[in-house]
Amino acid sequence: MGKETFTGPLEQVDACCWRIPRSYKPGMHVDGLIFSNERLMAQLKLDQAPEQVANVAFLPGIQYASLAMPDIHWGYGFCIGGVAATDPDEGGVISPGGVGYDINCGVRLVRSNLTYRDVKNELRTLVEELFRTIPTGVGRSGRYKFPKKELKHLLSEGASYLVGKGLGTARDLEYTEANGRLEGADPDRVSDHALTRGEEQCGTLGSGNHFLEIQVVDHVFDEEAAQVLGLEKDMVCVMIHSGSRGLGYQVCDDALTMLRGVPEKYGIQLPDRQLACAPVNSKEGQNYIAAMRAAANFAWCNRQLLMMQAREVFAHVFGLSWQELQMNLVYDVCHNIAKFEEHLVGGKHKKVWVHRKGATRAFPPGHPEIPPVYRGIGQPVIIPGDMGRASWVLVGQPGSMEKTFGTTCHGAGRAMSRTAALKDAGGRRIDKELESRGVIARAQSRKGLAEEQPKAYKNVDDVVEVVHEAGLSRRVARMRPIGVIKG
């Protein structure tokens, strides 16, 4: 988190948007635009994340504006919640800081035919069994092992490789963003060290803000869209939040090492070394893109295996197959990725590299990349909140294409650094506090729960209200957590 107060200009555009004019700093190619409301903005001004929005505007080839979502907070290079599109035909660059260390961190939502009444007496058993079955925590390895030769297939083919081995269904792929695979991934661009870190980590949850949650749909805002998504009030769902684990972290770290000195080589001047980048069409840029895509494919495989393990636990506890429990994937979205997409910019159709770091794709109804069954309502958007309040399902809206390169927020966004949250929680039992709210939580350490306590996050309802009012995505359903496992 930034330590200083932002003192630059913030001009209110409308009820949901603020501008940092490009005149703020010589070298900004475009304005900065932050989607927020007055309540969230008061808090944001105490953070240096808006400075990062301004710094991103220096990137060569950046289009329209440097953007930030209402869950914005301080990050590496780009703020978390940052979005930038660059045009390779105008010298556009690719920047690992615009993707993040946890490449293709994302969220997956699974529905069921169970209601809260069906699970409440089994809830503690369910949480304990999930915690025992699914590896959580830093560096933990799991039951699935992929030696380097096999791992390279996984990195190249994505989740379809697992489905081919019986670890999932063709339907799972259909309801995963990009069908769980980015083409152009090159495992040979992934270092041996990264491969070693990934060999035993596919199907593991990790630590930090990653979680697996049992949730109950507590309110439906859009009955028609909810019906298409297969969601209804009191339904029990499972939400999975994880990414590419140590492999993805290493891919990013390797890229940042490789990019040291590269901006100078191409005559690129940046206000922050953490924005290290390379022209998309350069050798360095292409190497990173190929490795980033491989790590993204690993992340989809990770979430696929986490889902399969969750399905097994539910089947064991309830004595029915996961198919009988109708534990079908609603959708899987990534929120740390760069993708080559076509967008209308200044009245022209352009192919641009959209960096989304802590930001979720939110394509509107009719977009060809949405699964056919959802095309009438828009792409499902899954927004996790903190483990004491709520998470949301929304659908993409036309405003996202007009204003944010088809993007919306990705979560609640931190309100406290991990250090501050730990200090604030001193002497308290966060697990007992959560239990008093009706949430059973298991984690590897009390420290992990303290860092992720509800107070450490903005209220997700406020964040979702901004993107709904701004026309980026529309509210469909709200889920409350009842059980959670964490690292």
**Dist. CA 298–CA 152, nearest whole Å:** 10
Burial environment of residue 382 by CB neighbours within 10 A (0 to 12, 13 to 18, 19 or more): buried
pLDDT at position 2 is 46
For residue 410, indicate whether it is catalytic. yes
Per-residue pLDDT of the chain (487 residues; tens, 9 = 90+): 445 789 999 999 999 999 999 999 999 999 999 999 999 999 898 889 999 999 999 999 999 999 999 999 999 999 999 999 999 999 999 999 999 999 999 999 999 999 999 999 999 999 999 999 999 988 778 899 999 999 999 999 999 999 999 999 999 999 999 999 999 999 999 999 999 999 999 999 999 899 999 999 999 999 999 999 999 999 999 999 999 999 999 999 999 999 999 999 999 999 999 999 999 999 999 999 999 999 999 999 999 999 999 999 999 999 999 999 999 999 999 999 999 999 999 999 999 999 999 999 999 999 999 999 999 999 999 999 999 999 999 999 999 999 999 999 999 999 888 999 999 998 899 999 999 999 999 998 888 899 999 999 999 999 999 999 999 999 999 999 999 999 8
pLDDT at position 1 is 45
Output the CA angle 405-410-414, nearest 5 degrees. Answer: 130
Per-residue b or e along 312-326, where b marks 16 or more CB atoms closer than 10 Å to that residue's CB: bbbbebbeeebeebe
| Residues whose CB is less than 8 angstroms from the CB of residue 302 and which lie 6 or more positions away in sequence, other chains included | 201, 202, 203, 204, 242, 243, 244, 245
Catalytic residue among 335, 367, 410, 468: 410
Domain ranges for the chain: 11-486
Nearest to residue 46, comparing CAs of 73, 24, 64? Answer: 73
| Residues whose CB is less than 8 angstroms from the CB of residue 372 and which lie 6 or more positions away in sequence, other chains included | none
CB 72 within 8 A of CB 42: no
CB atoms within 10 A of CB 141: 15
The CATH number assigned to the domain with range 11-486 reads 3.90.1860.10
For 442, list phi and psi in degrees, rounded to 5. -125, 135
CB 407 within 8 A of CB 426: no
pLDDT at position 252 is 98
For residue 317, give both structure tokens: 């506890």
